[in-house]
Structure 1
Amino acid sequence: MNSVPLGRVTRGTTGTNRLRRIDRWIARHPVLRRAEREPLVVDLGYGASGVTALELEARLHTTRPDVTVLGLEIAPERVATATAQLAQVRAGASPFRPDARVAFARGGFEVPASRRPVVIRAFNVLRQYDETEVTAAWERMAARLAPGGILVEGTCNEVGRVATWVEVGADALPRTLTVSLRLADLESPLIAAERLPKALIHRNVPGEQVHDFLRTLDREWERAAALGAFGPVQRWRGAMQAMADAGWPLRQRSRWRLGEITVPWDRVAPTP
Structure 2
Amino acid sequence: MAPGHIGQATRGTTNTNRLRRVDRWIARHPVLRRCADPLVVDLGYGASGVTALELEARLRRSRSDVDVLGLEIDPARVARAREQLAAVRAGKSVFSPDARVSFDRGGFEVPIAGDRRPAVIRAFNVLRQYDEDDVAAAWTRMAGRLAPDGMLVEGTCDEIGRVSTWIEVGPDAVPRTLTLSLRLAGLDSPAVAAERLPKALIHRNVPGEGVHDLLADLEREWVRAAPASSFGPVQRWRAALESLSSRGLDLGPRSRWRLGELTVPWARVAPN
TM-score (norm 2): 0.98
Secondary structure of 2:110's partner? coil
Distance 2:212 2:13 in 1: 28
- Partner of 2:102, secondary structure, is strand
Residue of structure 1 in register with 2:63 after alignment: 64
Alignment-derived partner of residue 263 in structure 2: 262
Counterpart of 1:9 in structure 2: which amino acid? A
Alignment match, 2:23: 23
Give the CA deviation at 1:60: 0.4
Question: Who is 1:223 aligned against?
Answer: 224
C-alpha distance after superposition, 1:227-267 (max 9, x if no partner)? 11111111111111100111212212210000001100111
C-alpha separation in 2, matches of 1:265 and 1:63: 26
Structure 2: distance between partners of 1:48 and 1:131: 24
Query: Residue 35 of structure 1: CA displacement?
Result: 1.1
Where do 5+ consecutive residues of structure 2 fail to align? none
Give, in angstroms, the shift of residue 136 of structure 1.
Answer: 0.4
Match in the other structure for 2:45: 46
Measure how far apart 1:207 and its partner are.
Answer: 1.2
Over residues 44-79 of structure 1, what are the superposed CA-to-partner deviations in whole Å (9 max), with x where a residue is unaligned?
A: 000000000000000001110100000000000000
Partner-residue secondary structure (3-state), 2:133: helix
Matching residue of 1:238: 239
Q: Aligned AA for 1:206?
A: P
* 1:97-246 correspondence runs (5 A): 97-114=96-113, 115-246=116-247
Alignment partner, residue 77 of structure 1: 76
TM-score (norm 1): 0.98
> Structure 2: how far apart are the matches of 1:34 and 1:224?
38
What RMSD, in angstroms, separates the aligned Cα atoms of the two structures?
Answer: 0.9
C-alpha distance in 1, partners of 2:176/2:38?
22
Q: How many pairs does the alignment contain?
A: 269
Aligned partner letter, 1:229: S
2:35 & 2:250 partners in 1: Cα distance?
27
Q: Is the 8 A contact 2:118 2:146 kept in 1?
A: yes
Report the Cα offset of residue 3 of structure 1. Answer: 5.2
Which residue identity lines up with residue 53 of structure 2 in the other structure?
Answer: L
Q: Deviations over 1:180-239 (max 9, x none)?
A: 000011000000000000000000011111111101001101111111111111111111
